Chains A and B, each alone.
Chain A
């Protein structure tokens, strides 16, 4: 029974934490993107506009909820839920820190250390397609259906290089479990580089980051919600908290993918060259590892915002040709090279 209690606490903590991060991300996005565009973002609510997400949240909750007359009511209501739920639950297998000792018990900072690790995230990521499709279809609006179609095609095309890039990681570390992958990334590689995944898999990292941007429906792949082309794509007809769920789900997706990038390629909670557990107490070590992981994830979240305002949106045929004609051959090449090199060293 104790294990259930601990797991429940971790689940609640993760859920609250991702909600807070998604809220803060709205502020970071607005302010960061404004400063890139030579203007200031919200600066009226609170110092540096930090209370702006609160104002936005209140606005979204109190707006009138408009459902189009000819929309399929149940599908319309189901869309945002089907989008946000997988986004939140994909975070369950990510190790956001090392062990922490509370009350004499060692607790690993991961909700579920399953031996199938990131296959779970891939499966759940495939589920988020349904949220977009159902939302677009249920709106009974041509632009929404177009947005849903584009998103479906894009997401399933880019799942293949996503899986292949992750497969190369599995070949190197020999396990699916994310916690073990992070544990393997201690120490140094070739004597002076930290033993992080990116030094062993540079091509794999580039593939992964490109496909992660596609999975998160972010620029340059944000055709499904292209703001200037198809009004707002699949969330055209949504207002108030339904739209809030779509936007939140998008930010939580971004957060999960950034956390995955840090876990697989940037050493999780390890600081290069320094082993923190040697000189910190158990509780402090747990908190420190959590903070290190969080800071690295923050950099990747900022990278999402940064790239959004740097790169123009790709055209649909460019997206498809990039996925099928460039990324899949590169991913296969990466797989072969990795398998070859692993065979040579074993």
Chain B
């Protein structure tokens, strides 16, 4: 294939270039006046092609993987039993858990027999992959829709349990919780369970309770 032929016969007006500059100035003037008038109006989204961030935010998809949330069940008890699965599966090793046994009088707060005395996620290390959400047996940790995570110091970016439960309560109020999705049926999954553990590894998909024998 040879080079494409570009016609370079310019008219005198085009070669002079001044005429073209003046025409260009007209176009940019039209844009300028349009946006100038838009900037004088009150209200956030006045310029149609420009999203002004803190006032106009884009809609986030419901399965967006943002800041984590620690869930409470319907009676308000913490679901997390501090099994440590999320800590083990995390590729960035950003979760730190300290387990504690549930004492006698505190059964109303916790769903299981053990609870997490401290649950810290270092948001600066987290890669938001969602493996902790997939690994959790109880469905206690879920990735929510928070993406404004910048802060002024490293310590402020370590999310502790209070912040994570706070995320959940706020999301519940605003109705931004993910609906539970049924696990995706995988062809041959039932046979794989019957055949033995080797084939189970090739049956991917599903989330939450679907993946038992993981990595």
Contacts and interface: CB of A to CB of B under 8 A. Distances in A.
User: Direct A–B touching in the complex (beta carbon < 8 Å)?
Assistant: yes
Interface of A: 32, 34-40, 43, 48, 206, 306-307, 309-311
B213 interface: no
Contacts of A32: 32
B25 to A, nearest CB: 5
Interface stretch (B46-54, B107-115, B145-153): B46-54
A310 B24 contact: yes
Contact of B31 (A38, A206, A311): A38
Nearest to A206: B18
A38 B47 contact: yes
Contact of B35 (A39, A48, A310, A311): A39
B43 to A, nearest CB: 12
Contacts of B52: 40, 43
Given A35-B32, A37-B31, A310-B21, 10 more contacts: A36-B32, A38-B35, A38-B50, A39-B47, A48-B39, A206-B18, A306-B25, A307-B21, A309-B28, A310-B28
Interface in B43-75: 47, 49-50, 52
A162 B126 CA distance: 60
B25 A307 contact: yes
Contact of B21 (A38, A40, A311): A311
Which secondary structure dominates where chain B touches chain A?
helix
A160 B75 CA distance: 85
A39 B32 CA distance: 10
B36 A35 contact: yes
Contacts of A306: 25, 28-29, 32
A280 to B, nearest CB: 33
A33 to B, nearest CB: 9
B50 A40 contact: yes
A32 B50 CA distance: 15
Contacts of B31: 35-38
Interface string B9-49: 00000000010010011011101100110110000000101
A162 to B, nearest CB: 18
A36 B28 contact: yes
A156 B24 CA distance: 29
A66 B35 CA distance: 38
Contacts of B35: 34-36, 38-40
Contacts of B18: 206
Contact of B24 (A40, A43, A48, A311): A311
Nearest to B26: A310
Contacts of A38: 31, 35, 47, 49-50
A38 B39 CA distance: 11
B39 A35 contact: yes
A38 B50 CA distance: 7
Contacts of A310: 21, 24-25, 27-28
A141 B52 CA distance: 38
A114 to B, nearest CB: 34
5 contacts: A38-B35, A39-B50, A43-B52, A310-B27, A310-B28
3 A-B pairs with the lowest CB-CB distances in the bound complex, closest first: A35-B35, A39-B50, A310-B24
B154 to A, nearest CB: 20
Contacts of A40: 35, 38-39, 47, 50, 52
B49 A39 contact: yes
Contacts of A34: 35
Contacts of A39: 35, 47, 49-50
Nearest to B23: A310
A43 B28 contact: no
Nearest to A308: B28
B78 to A, nearest CB: 40
A309 B50 CA distance: 18
A287 B4 CA distance: 62
Interface string B92-118: 000000000000000000000000000
A34 B36 CA distance: 10
Nearest to B35: A35
A317 B49 CA distance: 36
Nearest to A322: B17
A213 to B, nearest CB: 11
B25 A43 contact: no
Nearest to B54: A44
Contacts of A311: 21, 24
Contacts of B27: 310
Contacts of B38: 40
Contacts of B47: 38-40
A39 B31 CA distance: 10
Nearest to A49: B39
A310 B32 CA distance: 11
Contacts of A48: 39
B26 to A, nearest CB: 9
Nearest to A309: B28
A39 B39 CA distance: 9
Interface string B116-128: 0000000000000
A311 B22 CA distance: 10
